[in-house]
Every structure is written in C-alpha cells, then in structure tokens.
Amino acid sequence: MDKALLQTIDHIDWYGKVALIRADFNVPLADGQVQDTTRIERALPTIEAILQKGGTVSILTHLGRPKGIEPAYSVQPVADCLSALLHKPVEVLSDFDPEHTKTPNTIYLYENTRFFPGETRNDPELAERMAACCDVWVMDAFATAHRAHASTMGALSYAKEACAGILFAEELTAISRLFDAPGKPILAVVGGAKVSGKIDLLTSLLEWCDVIAVVGAMANTFLYAKGQEVGRSLYEPEQVELARSIMQQAMEKGVVIYLPQDYIVATESGDKSLQKGVAEIHPTDSIYDVGPQTLMALNTLATHSQTLIWNGPLGWFENPLYSHGSYAFAKSVAASSSYSIVGGGDTIRVLTESTGLSGVSYVSTGGGAFLALLAHRTLPIVEALSIGVAQHV
C-alpha cells in the first residue's frame, strides 16, 4: 500500500467544481436526534477544505439497514446536525438529478443510499446516476471501503474524477504505519465471537506479529482445539481444525499465540459467576469473561509492546457481570506507551466508556474495513484511487 500514490483532495483544482463525498454518517438516532456526532465531526475537515478551495459539497451516506424507504431511517436528523456543526444550510435531496443547481452556500445531503434499489448490489445504473451529479467523487467513508456498493466502488467507476478525502487518507496513513517498520514487539489482541470472520486477519498477523492474544468467544474454539473443556460456551466446531492449523503455523514461525489462563464463568443454575482456571471448566459452565490472571498477563504484554493492535472485546461486555475484562484491558491499552491502534465498533465503545480515546494513538472508524486492510494490506478501492487511475478524464 503506497500512500504516496493516493489521489487526495489536494490534487484537485476545486474552484467551481461539485464534490460528491461518500461519507460515513451511519450514526445512532433516538427520537429524531443524532445521539453521537463523532462520525460526522470526523468528516468535517474534508467538507471544510473543499469549501475553502472554492468547491461545492454534496454528500452520500447510508443510515442503518432499512428495507426500502423507511422514514425512521431518513437522513434529515443528520442534515440538521451537520447544519449546526457547519453553520450552513443543509438540503436533503431525494433523488439523483444532475440538473439540480448547487451552490457553495449550501451543503447537499442525498437521502439514505439504502433507500435506492440496487445500492447494496452495486447496480451500475444507480452508480452512474450518482456519479453524474458531480465533477469529483470523493471517498471519505473508510468504514465502507471493503464493500462494493453503488455509492462506493460503483460511483467511483463512473466518476469523471475521483480522490480520497482527508479522513480516508488519514486512516490509510495510520494503518500503514503497522506495516512500515513498526516498533517491535508487536502485540495483536483479537476478540469477538467467531474465528470464521477473522481467518484472513489471523493468517496475515502470523506473518508480522510477535504475539497474538486470542480472546472473547474466539478463544473457546482455540481452547477446544487444544483439548480443553469449554462447557456450554460458544465455540465453532467447524473451525477447530483451522484453529489447530493456526497454532501450528504460529509455532513454526516463532509467533506466540496467547490464550486466556482463567475465566469468569456462569454455572448451570445461572445464579453464580465464578473465577476458574482453564483446567477447572466444568461441562455445565459458560465462559463469559477473562479472569484476573489473564488480565495481568495481557497488561504485561501491552506494557512491553512497541506496537499494539486491538479488535474485539474480551467477553460479554454488554452484561455488567462480565464486562470487567474488556474495560480493564481498555485502561491497559490507554496507559501503554506503544503505538496503539484500535478498530471495531464494540471495541471503540468499550474504550470510550472506560477511559476515553485520548490514550490511544489512533482510533479507526472502520470495523470490517479495518480488518480487511490489516489482512490484505490494501483494498480494491484504494488501488482505484491511486494517481493515474483515479483521473478518468
């Protein structure tokens, strides 16, 4: 991934041109109000830079997962929030009309892209209609960068000119640092529920990490692969052989696979939560969080790492009985002097609620895109935004 080849907004003469920014304003709503403005705020530098350079701004975003047009998923609350942040009027457009007059005095926000049939299947007709509404298409939604939708790869392929926004370029720079002579040792902490969703990531991490700590329900599959009892805990029987293969590859490459040493479990009756060592797990137990010995070990690993990657909670963090491990580890990450990068919605939520984001070197806006970029070191949309490719005319 060569950042120097990325076509950015700095390569464009914006005067008199209309930008169509693919942003990520998929924000939580309640009672018609935006509950968390973080994603909108992180897009402001791109919007403001284009306006300052004489351009006009229009924006695309999805919001939730509506099935067709559902008023509850309208982007109007996002428009109201964006207007308040920019101190400019924001007009919501219900269709892609290239004849609609646009001026720099107003921001134009198209209605939820998922209201339009063909968005998620990358319908070429829809993509062409989107691209026809701008002079320059701007990719600034890193969180959607792994998806080939009409508003992402589709619109890019029809745009007269295309480039990356400030946030998108910032994401690539931060993640590229993990590959470009990172400080060692490198610790990757990978959690979540399923091994099957992170096969490519784990395979990639084996090539350049020193320690991979597998936590969350994912760890249960690895423990089972080692012959350990996991009781009634969630695990993936069909991925047991893969887990064995990953551990074997790690041993051959000199990479340490760290698995939890102890757990907080729920007993069969469900009325008790107990700390148990791995060898003490009973067939009727359910593993829901890591125990104090594991937290101590993870804290030591974080303290001695020079580069730290974290994706995925350590347990059932939504339940207060089993949230301690995730929140305690978040404090270890924030206190670490390593170059730390965190990605994934649940992971960011844990970090935000425990310590805030200030102690982490970089917080990625992407979940799936973050994992895909770590796994493959590039993405098709990044290649398409390279200089010489992104300039279609």
Residues 203 and 343 in one domain: yes
Q: Which structural domain range is residue 335 located in?
A: 180-376
Interval 5-37: pLDDT, tens: 899 999 999 999 999 999 999 999 999 999 999
Note whether residue 393 is domain-resident: no
pLDDT for residue 169 is more than 90 = yes
Residues 121 and 202 in one domain: no
Residues 297 and 232 in one domain: yes
The number of C-alpha atoms within 13 Å of 243 and in the hemisphere containing its C-beta is 24
pLDDT for residue 321 is more than 80 = yes
What is the pLDDT confidence band of residue 298, given thresholds at 50, 70 and 90?
A: very high
Residues 74 and 155 in one domain: yes
Note whether residue 158 is domain-resident: yes
CA separation for the pair 49, 36 (Å, rounded): 23
The number of C-alpha atoms within 13 Å of 224 and in the hemisphere containing its C-beta is 22
* CB-CB contact of 85 with 122 (8 Å): no
Note whether residue 392 is domain-resident: no
pLDDT for residue 107 is more than 60 = yes
Note whether residue 57 is domain-resident: yes
pLDDT for residue 379 is more than 60 = yes
Note whether residue 389 is domain-resident: no
Q: How far apart are the first and last CA of the chain?
A: 24
Rg (CA), the chain: 23
Q: What are residue 34's DSSP bridge partners?
A: 29
- pLDDT > 90 in the chain, percent: 83
Interval 59-74: pLDDT, tens: 999 999 999 999 999 9
The pLDDT of residue 270 is 63
Residues 114 and 209 in one domain: no
Note whether residue 391 is domain-resident: no
Which tops the pLDDT comparison, 10 or 273? Answer: 10
Mean pLDDT to the nearest integer, 341-361:
88
Q: Output the 3-class SS for the chain.
A: CCHHHECEHHHCCCCCCEEEEECCCCCCEECCEECCCHHHHHHHHHHHHHHHCCCEEEEECCCCCCCCCCHHHCCHHHHHHHHHHHCCCEEEECCCCCCCCCCCCCEEEECCHHHCCCCCCCCHHHHHHHHCCCCEEEECCHHHCCCCCHHHHHHHHHCCEEEECHHHHHHHHHHHCCCCCCCCCEEEEECCCCCHHHHHHHHHHHHHCCEEEECCCHHHHHHHHCCCCCCCCCCCHHHHHHHHHHHHHHHHHCCEEECCCEEEEECCCCCCEEEEEHHHCCCCCEEEEECHHHHHHHHHHHHHCCEEEEECCCCCCCCHHHCHHHHHHHHHHHHCCCEEEECCHHHHHHHHHHCCCCCCCEECCCCHHHHHHHHHCCCHHHHHCECCCCECC
Residues 155 and 208 in one domain: no
Residues 160 and 195 in one domain: no
* CB-CB contact of 213 with 190 (8 Å): yes
pLDDT for residue 193 is more than 60 = yes
* CB-CB contact of 147 with 121 (8 Å): no
pLDDT for residue 113 is more than 50 = yes
Residues 130 and 184 in one domain: no
Total number of domains constituting the chain: 2
pLDDT for residue 393 is more than 50 = no
Mean pLDDT to the nearest integer, 372-378:
90
Residues 161 and 234 in one domain: no
**Block residue for tokens 């209605």:** 111
Q: State the helix-helix crossing angle for 368-376 and 166-176, rounded to 10 degrees.
A: 50
The pLDDT of residue 269 is 66
Residue 50's nearest CA partner among 25, 86, 14, 16 is 14
Residues 148 and 207 in one domain: no
CA separation for the pair 335, 302 (Å, rounded): 9
**Block residue for tokens 């790690």:** 250
The pLDDT of residue 391 is 52
What is the pLDDT of the chain when averaged over all its residues?
Answer: 93
Interval 140-162: pLDDT, tens: 999 999 999 999 999 999 999 99
The pLDDT of residue 271 is 61
The pLDDT of residue 358 is 81
Which tops the pLDDT comparison, 38 or 19? Answer: 19
**Residues forming the active site:** 39, 194, 345, 368
Residue 112's nearest CA partner among 159, 57, 46, 68 is 68
CA distances from 278 to 133, 169, 229, 286, 320 (A): 59, 43, 8, 12, 22
The pLDDT of residue 12 is 96
> Which strands, in side-by-side order, build the sheet including 18-22?
90-93, 107-110, 56-60, 18-22, 136-139, 162-164
pLDDT for residue 3 is more than 80 = no
What is the pLDDT confidence band of residue 205, given thresholds at 50, 70 and 90?
A: very high
Note whether residue 100 is domain-resident: yes
Note whether residue 332 is domain-resident: yes
CA separation for the pair 390, 387 (Å, rounded): 6
Residues 233 and 355 in one domain: yes
CA distances from 172 to 149, 177, 180, 181, 280 (A): 20, 9, 12, 15, 44
CATH number at residue 59: 3.40.50.1260
Q: Is 15 exposed, middle or buried (0-12, 13-18, 19+ CB in 10 A)?
A: exposed
* CB-CB contact of 148 with 380 (8 Å): yes
Hey, what are 342's tokens?
Answer: 């965190």
The pLDDT of residue 195 is 87
Residues 352 and 215 in one domain: yes
